[in-house]
Amino acid sequence: MKAVILVGAALTLLMTFDNFRRTKLLLFEYPVLILLATLGMMLMDLGGQPHRALSRTRADVAGALRRRRLQRATTYARANPASNISCLARSPRA
Protein backbone atom coordinates (compact mmCIF):
# COMPACT_ATOMS: atom_id res chain seq x y z
CA MET A 1 0.00 0.00 0.00
CA LYS A 2 2.89 2.35 0.71
CA ALA A 3 4.15 1.89 -2.82
CA VAL A 4 0.77 2.99 -4.20
CA ILE A 5 0.85 6.09 -1.98
CA LEU A 6 4.39 7.02 -3.04
CA VAL A 7 3.70 6.43 -6.74
CA GLY A 8 0.54 8.53 -6.50
CA ALA A 9 2.41 11.39 -4.86
CA ALA A 10 5.20 11.23 -7.45
CA LEU A 11 2.71 11.21 -10.32
CA THR A 12 0.86 14.15 -8.78
CA LEU A 13 4.06 16.19 -8.63
CA LEU A 14 5.12 15.21 -12.16
CA MET A 15 1.74 16.06 -13.69
CA THR A 16 1.40 19.43 -11.99
CA PHE A 17 4.93 20.83 -12.41
CA ASP A 18 4.51 21.48 -16.12
CA ASN A 19 1.22 23.29 -15.59
CA PHE A 20 2.64 25.39 -12.76
CA ARG A 21 5.67 26.37 -14.87
CA ARG A 22 3.46 27.54 -17.72
CA THR A 23 1.25 29.64 -15.42
CA LYS A 24 4.25 30.80 -13.37
CA LEU A 25 2.67 29.57 -10.13
CA LEU A 26 5.48 27.18 -9.19
CA LEU A 27 5.71 27.91 -5.50
CA PHE A 28 7.57 26.22 -2.67
CA GLU A 29 4.36 25.48 -0.74
CA TYR A 30 2.85 23.00 -3.19
CA PRO A 31 5.56 20.28 -3.00
CA VAL A 32 5.63 20.70 0.79
CA LEU A 33 1.85 20.25 0.89
CA ILE A 34 2.11 17.07 -1.21
CA LEU A 35 4.93 15.81 1.02
CA LEU A 36 2.92 16.35 4.21
CA ALA A 37 -0.18 14.77 2.69
CA THR A 38 1.89 11.75 1.63
CA LEU A 39 3.39 11.39 5.10
CA GLY A 40 -0.08 11.57 6.62
CA MET A 41 -1.36 8.86 4.29
CA MET A 42 1.62 6.65 5.10
CA LEU A 43 1.05 7.11 8.83
CA MET A 44 -2.61 6.22 8.45
CA ASP A 45 -1.63 3.14 6.47
CA LEU A 46 0.86 2.15 9.17
CA GLY A 47 -1.76 2.65 11.87
CA GLY A 48 -3.70 -0.47 10.94
CA GLN A 49 -0.78 -2.84 10.47
CA PRO A 50 0.47 -3.33 14.04
CA HIS A 51 -3.04 -4.21 15.13
CA ARG A 52 -3.29 -6.89 12.45
CA ALA A 53 0.18 -8.23 13.18
CA LEU A 54 -0.27 -8.45 16.95
CA SER A 55 -3.84 -9.68 17.08
CA ARG A 56 -4.20 -13.31 17.99
CA THR A 57 -7.27 -15.43 18.21
CA ARG A 58 -8.16 -17.49 21.23
CA ALA A 59 -7.25 -20.64 19.32
CA ASP A 60 -3.73 -19.31 18.67
CA VAL A 61 -3.21 -18.49 22.34
CA ALA A 62 -4.69 -21.82 23.47
CA GLY A 63 -2.44 -23.71 21.04
CA ALA A 64 0.65 -21.86 22.28
CA LEU A 65 -0.26 -22.62 25.90
CA ARG A 66 -0.87 -26.28 25.05
CA ARG A 67 2.52 -26.55 23.33
CA ARG A 68 4.25 -24.86 26.27
CA ARG A 69 2.53 -27.17 28.78
CA LEU A 70 3.49 -30.26 26.75
CA GLN A 71 7.08 -29.04 26.46
CA ARG A 72 7.32 -28.56 30.23
CA ALA A 73 5.82 -31.99 30.88
CA THR A 74 8.22 -33.61 28.42
CA THR A 75 11.19 -31.87 30.04
CA TYR A 76 10.00 -33.00 33.48
CA ALA A 77 9.49 -36.59 32.28
CA ARG A 78 12.99 -36.72 30.80
CA ALA A 79 14.51 -35.37 34.01
CA ASN A 80 12.47 -37.76 36.19
CA PRO A 81 12.07 -41.08 34.36
CA ALA A 82 10.25 -42.69 37.30
CA SER A 83 7.41 -40.14 37.20
CA ASN A 84 4.04 -41.08 35.78
CA ILE A 85 2.65 -38.25 33.71
CA SER A 86 -0.70 -39.20 32.26
CA CYS A 87 -0.68 -36.58 29.49
CA LEU A 88 2.44 -38.15 27.95
CA ALA A 89 1.45 -41.78 28.41
CA ARG A 90 -1.41 -41.73 25.94
CA SER A 91 -2.23 -45.13 24.59
CA PRO A 92 -3.70 -45.49 21.11
CA ARG A 93 -7.44 -46.05 21.10
CA ALA A 94 -8.64 -49.38 19.88
User: What are 39-70's pLDDT values in tens digits?
Assistant: 999 888 877 655 554 556 667 777 788 888 88
- Write down the mean pLDDT value for the chain: 77
**Range 62-80 average pLDDT:** 80
**Range 16-39 average pLDDT:** 86
Share of the chain above pLDDT 90, in %: 16
The whole model's pTM is what? 0.47
User: Does the structure show a pLDDT above 80 at 4?
Assistant: yes
**Range 16-34 average pLDDT:** 83
DSSP string, 22-76: HHT---SHHHHHHHHHHHHHHHHHHHHHHHHHH---HHHHHHHHHHHHHHHHHHH
Supply the pLDDT for residue 94: 45
Supply the pLDDT for residue 46: 79
